[in-house]
Amino acid sequence: MKANKSRIFLVACFCVGMAQADVVFTTGNHPQPGEANVLLNSGGFGMTVTGTTNSLPGVVVDFTSTELELEPSSGQARVSGDPEHTPLTDMTISLAGGATYSDLIFNPFIGGCHACVKGGTGTVTVDALDSHGVAEMPSVFTYTIGNGNNFLTITTTNGEKIVSTQIQDAGGSFDDLRQPRISGFGATPVPEPSNYVPIMGLALGAIALLRRSGKRYSIPS
């Protein structure tokens, strides 16, 4: 686990039974190479709203919450509570189809939130896969709730890929999530070779049973 680069963040690392995730979490807006803006201006609403990237239109980004969400069609890239400006308690960012990413920047905006307590805390949980596609233990970070601009930057190292990122504030401490940017897109990873062993064992066992039953079975070349 990389050390946290910001003094106002507390990093909690869960490292029981699995390798630590190579996830770096910092405050502020730190652009990454190849990042794409997520376009969110369609006026969609529901428990999940979607956006696409400006540079790779085929990449669909899902924003899921336990509360109703709204994409205001005002030209600004953001996801708000529904009705607009309703405080949110949680939001999960993932890519459609199980695709992955390596870097994420977003701003859980507070602004005029009537329910938030300045100086409180929220948490960000990052679920990631290592370079072999094996799930890591979640990386959990705590951040300080400020006023207005609360940009957070998440990056990965050593071939790590992010499956999903969850922002959580039990007190409803952000009005909406603004200006998300994402990079390092990847397809659903192929399992590492060791994961094929049980599958091959089952296949060979099935072939043996077929032969014992007198049925002919040929393996295609």
More confidently predicted of 216 and 136: 136
* Residue whose token pair is 């405050």: 27
Q: How confident is the model at residue 58 (pLDDT cuts 50, 70, 90)?
A: confident
* Residue whose token pair is 């199980």: 98
Name, of 49-58, 88-97, 141-150, 206-215, the range with top average pLDDT.
88-97
Q: How confident is the model at residue 192 (pLDDT cuts 50, 70, 90)?
A: very low
More confidently predicted of 72 and 190: 72
Cβ within 8 Å of residue 152, ≥6 positions away? 25, 26, 27, 28, 105, 106, 107, 108, 124, 143
The 10s digit of each residue's pLDDT in 201-211 is 554 554 455 45
The predicted pLDDT at position 148 comes to 64
Torsion sign, CA atoms 71, 73, 76, 81 = negative
Which token pair is 99? 């695709």
Cβ within 8 Å of residue 203, ≥6 positions away? none
Q: How far apart are CA 123 and CA 166, in angstroms?
A: 8
Q: Which of 92, 94, 99, 74 is nearest to 84 (CA)?
A: 74
The 10s digit of each residue's pLDDT in 99-128 is 999 999 999 887 665 555 566 788 999 999
- pTM higher than 0.95: no
More confidently predicted of 22 and 198: 22
Q: Which of 104, 128, 124, 143 is nearest to 9 (CA)?
A: 143
Judge whether residue 138 has pLDDT over 80: yes
